[in-house]
Amino acid sequence: RSSNFTGEVGEKALGVVDGYRVDENGFIYLPYIGQVAAAGKTIMAIREDINTRLVQYLPKANVQVRFVNFKVTLMGEVNRPNTYVIPNERLNIIEAIGMAGDFTPYAKRNSVLVIRERNQIREFHRVNIKDKSVFSSPYFYLSPNDIIIVDPLKAKQYATTGDFFQRYSGIFFPVVSLVTFLLGASLNK
């Protein structure tokens, strides 16, 4: 018995539009070739593995591998803290901070925290954006779901404290003046 294929041709027919997800164990399941290990591999390595295994079924296959859910979260002393979906396969920490509108004036640039999850274990690493060694850091290029936290300088705490006194000085000084006047008047009797 024969059946006719009446589906889509090209990317839609192969499921590329929706993509194939990496499961919690780090594998992608693909028709014909089964499980493909993806955890800890580069996009190029995954592409080569799929091509090598798929060639017996489709000799001239054009395999495209890309992130469909690459997002990073920036929090703290950036102008636009948010979770950003990254349209391409590569993003570095400087580009991510730029996407978030750059640092605020109170950002602690020499100790930016990058939180990365690998094999269900969270890694915490500090990056000094002011030092040229940032370019050779393993945390310079971000991974999907990285969280970047920019801590405030101590100067922000003092600035906030200054705002408190400035905000309430209109009440504080007249009350102190009145108490001083009343104490002075009662002592002069």
How do residues 73-130 score in pLDDT, each as one tens digit? Answer: 999 999 999 999 887 778 999 999 999 999 999 999 999 999 998 878 899 999 999 9
How do residues 39-79 score in pLDDT, each as one tens digit? Answer: 878 788 999 999 999 988 888 888 888 777 789 999 999 99
Looking at residue 2, its pLDDT comes to 39
Is-above-0.75 flag for pTM? Answer: no
Q: Are strands 71-76 and 82-85 parallel, antiparallel or unpaired?
A: antiparallel
User: Is residue 67 a contact partner of residue 144, using CB atoms and an 8 Å limit?
Assistant: yes
Of the candidates 29, 26, 18, the one whose C-alpha atom is nearest the C-alpha of residue 117 is 26
Q: Which residues pair with 136 in a beta bridge?
A: none
- Quick one: CA torsion of 7, 9, 12, 16, rounded to 10 degrees? 130
Of the candidates 108, 72, 64, the one whose C-alpha atom is nearest the C-alpha of residue 90 is 72
* Cα Rg, the chain, nearest whole Å: 29
Query: Mean pLDDT throughout 1-28?
Result: 58
**Structural domains of the chain sorted by starting position, each given as residue range(s) with its CATH number in brackets:** 1-66 (3.30.1950.10), 71-154 (3.10.560.10)
Top-confidence residue, 143 or 169 = 143
